[in-house]
């Protein structure tokens, strides 16, 4: 299936979208990659969802990406004797290591890493920021706080720490168990939650050993501060605006979103914009005007993908949500301002032969009005470089490795096709022409440009450009 847009759509699966039939409908509506949220999915459910997605993939004959989203550390206060208490701004409230029911003066905090790390002056945000505390004293066993705003706290509400870097990694025991289970399945991406520093990626890389791409979710101020280092060690990035909007001022999130997208584009790493993109469509068949504008902004900025969460996982209109997002993206990409905005933000090509070839391919395709850029990519590197250029010409990524094609399904502008590797240069050109013709990107008499690495099959060694005509039989005419 040939999409009418270059930005990709990532749809979360859940109670509203867990059957093979519904997954198929979501794909037909425009979903390119499916997200399995390990916060809610058991290992058995995860395996069943993977089987259903792969059955849909086989039916449509197109590579489909799967992302497993690890829960990450869930930091929560303990229980209260009466489930909830009322507080007053200005009063003192303590979080401590006493495993006893809480009251209006204190509550158990079952996280010694927080008790050890919080310093006087640090903020503690409870229940998505509805209650804000500021630490006044901390001795490793208790944190004495002042209530700044909010009047209510109840059992097991979440704790956010915008000013505190915890001494433990982002991978919990549940995450390790989930990761081991995920790595046994045909899953392409793993998303890491609550990353604070580049070191948080090290353990996951050691366990994964390249079997999946690692996507870092940027949702904490500490991650924003070390963004360039995290991007360097990640395979992809997500702007996770939900928790980011809790731990940072809401008005700063749009600017941070732009900062992350541009930094990821410069590094040639896929970037996903997520959270509340079409939130009202959980219960309504149409979105708000503001939500449409939000999706459009992400597309104008050149994000690789936009994501649906509860809209497709638990909403009443999952198919309509995907269709709406797809229509908005198509309309934006046809806008007369779109290419100008992308061009203005295009990063300079890196000083490598491969990047120079990809930049040249984009320019030649634009100047000569070629029908397609066809890139051979075994590891995915050539496809990523082609996408980084954000060409206005369609890009077909040919790979003999189905895992590569599935992973690249997340990447902007790439129409991925699994095909046998070319045996020689003539076969390479004929195969590119034939596939461009078969996939309806070119017709007889059109021209395409081909990029590849010679010797053929050499990972990451893009060093060749070739312009070819499409003959009457779909093969190379000249």
**Choice among 164, 275, 324, 377 that is catalytic:** 275
Is residue 437 pLDDT above 60, yes or no?
yes
For position 351, what pLDDT does the model report? 79
CA distance 278 to 284: 10
Segment 320-377, tens digit of pLDDT: 999 999 999 999 999 999 999 998 888 887 878 888 999 999 999 999 999 999 999 9
Q: Tokens 């301002």 correspond to what residue? A: 337
Using pLDDT thresholds of 50, 70 and 90, give the confidence band for residue 459. Answer: low
CA distance 384 to 237: 14
Domains of the chain: 8-72+170-335 (3.20.20.60), 84-160 (2.40.33.10), 353-469 (3.40.1380.20)
Name residues whose C-beta falls within 8 Å of residue 83's C-beta, 6 or more positions apart in sequence.
Answer: 154, 155
Is residue 457 pLDDT above 70, yes or no?
no
For position 477, what pLDDT does the model report? 56
Between these two residues, 381 and 459, which has the higher pLDDT value? Answer: 381
Average pLDDT over residues 161-189: 93
76 is catalytic: yes
For position 452, what pLDDT does the model report? 87
217 is catalytic: yes
Is residue 478 pLDDT above 70, yes or no?
no
For position 92, what pLDDT does the model report? 97
For position 350, what pLDDT does the model report? 80
78-87, 261-270, 367-376, 464-473: range with lowest mean pLDDT: 464-473
Q: How many other CB atoms are there within 10 angstroms of residue 84's CB atom?
A: 11
DSSP string, 368-414: TT-SEEEEE-SSSHHHHHHHHT--SS-EEEEES-HHHHHHGGGSTTE
Using pLDDT thresholds of 50, 70 and 90, give the confidence band for residue 421. Answer: confident
Mean pLDDT of the chain: 94
**Choice among 54, 74, 76, 226 that is catalytic:** 76
Average pLDDT over residues 163-173: 87
% the chain with pLDDT above 90: 88
pTM for the structure as a whole: 0.94
Average pLDDT over residues 19-40: 98
% the chain with pLDDT above 70: 98
**Choice among 6, 62, 123, 217 that is catalytic:** 217
Which has the closest alpha carbon to 266: 241, 231, 218?
A: 231
419 is catalytic: no
CA distance 234 to 81: 44
Residue 170 contacts residue 71 (beta carbons within 8 Å):
no
367 is catalytic: no
**Choice among 5, 6, 8, 35 that is catalytic:** 35
């Amino acid at each position: 299936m040939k999409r009418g847009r270059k930005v990709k759509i990532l749809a979360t699966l859940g109670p509203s979208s867990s059957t093979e039939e519904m997954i198929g409908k979501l794909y037909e509506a425009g979903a390119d990659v499916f997200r399995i949220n390990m916060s809610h999915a058991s290992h058995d459910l995860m395996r069943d969802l993977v089987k259903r997605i792969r059955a849909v993939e086989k039916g449509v004959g197109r590579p489909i990406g799967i992302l497993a989203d690890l829960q990450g550390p869930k930091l929560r206060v303990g229980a209260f004797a009466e489930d909830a208490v009322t507080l007053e701004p200005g009063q003192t409230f303590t979080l401590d290591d006493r495993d006893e029911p809480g009251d209006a003066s204190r509550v158990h905090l079952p996280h010694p890493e927080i008790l050890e790390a919080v310093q006087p002056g640090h903020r503690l945000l409870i229940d998505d920021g509805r209650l804000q505390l500021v630490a006044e004293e901390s001795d490793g066993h208790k944190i004495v706080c002042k209530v700044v705003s909010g009047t209510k706290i109840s059992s097991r509400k979440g704790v956010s720490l915008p000013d505190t870097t915890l001494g433990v990694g982002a991978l919990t025991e549940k995450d390790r168990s989930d990761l081991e289970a995920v790595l046994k399945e045909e899953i392409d991406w793993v998303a890491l939650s609550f990353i604070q520093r580049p070191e948080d990626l090290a353990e996951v890389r050691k366990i994964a050993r390249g079997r999946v791409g690692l996507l870092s979710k940027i949702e904490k101020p500490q991650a924003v501060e070390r963004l360039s280092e995290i991007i360097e060690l990640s395979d992809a990035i997500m702007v996770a605006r939900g928790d980011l909007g809790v731990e940072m001022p809401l008005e700063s999130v749009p600017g941070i979103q732009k900062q992350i997208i541009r930094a990821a584009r410069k590094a040639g790493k896929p970037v996903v914009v997520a959270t509340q993109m079409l939130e009202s469509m959980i219960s309504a068949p149409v979105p708000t005007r503001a939500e449409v504008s939000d999706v459009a902004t992400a597309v104008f900025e050149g994000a690789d993908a936009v994501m649906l969460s509860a809209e497709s996982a638990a909403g009443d209109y999952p198919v309509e949500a995907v269709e709406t997002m797809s229509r908005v993206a198509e309309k934006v990409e046809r806008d007369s301002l779109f290419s100008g905005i992308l061009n203005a933000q295009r990063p300079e090509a890196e000083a490598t032969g491969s990047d120079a070839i990809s930049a040249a391919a984009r320019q030649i395709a634009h100047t000569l009005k070629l029908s397609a850029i066809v890139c051979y990519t075994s590891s995915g590197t050539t496809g990523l470089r082609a996408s980084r250029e954000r060409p206005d010409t369609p890009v077909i990524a040919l790979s003999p490795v189905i895992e590569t094609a599935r992973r690249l399904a997340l990447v902007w502008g790439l129409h991925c096709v699994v095909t046998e590797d070319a045996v020689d240069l003539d076969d390479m050109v004929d195969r590119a022409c034939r596939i461009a013709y078969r996939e309806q990107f070119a017709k007889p008499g059109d021209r395409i440009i081909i990029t590849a690495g010679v010797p053929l099959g050499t990972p990451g060694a893009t060093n060749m450009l070739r312009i070819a005509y499409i003959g009457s039989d779909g093969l190379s005419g000249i």
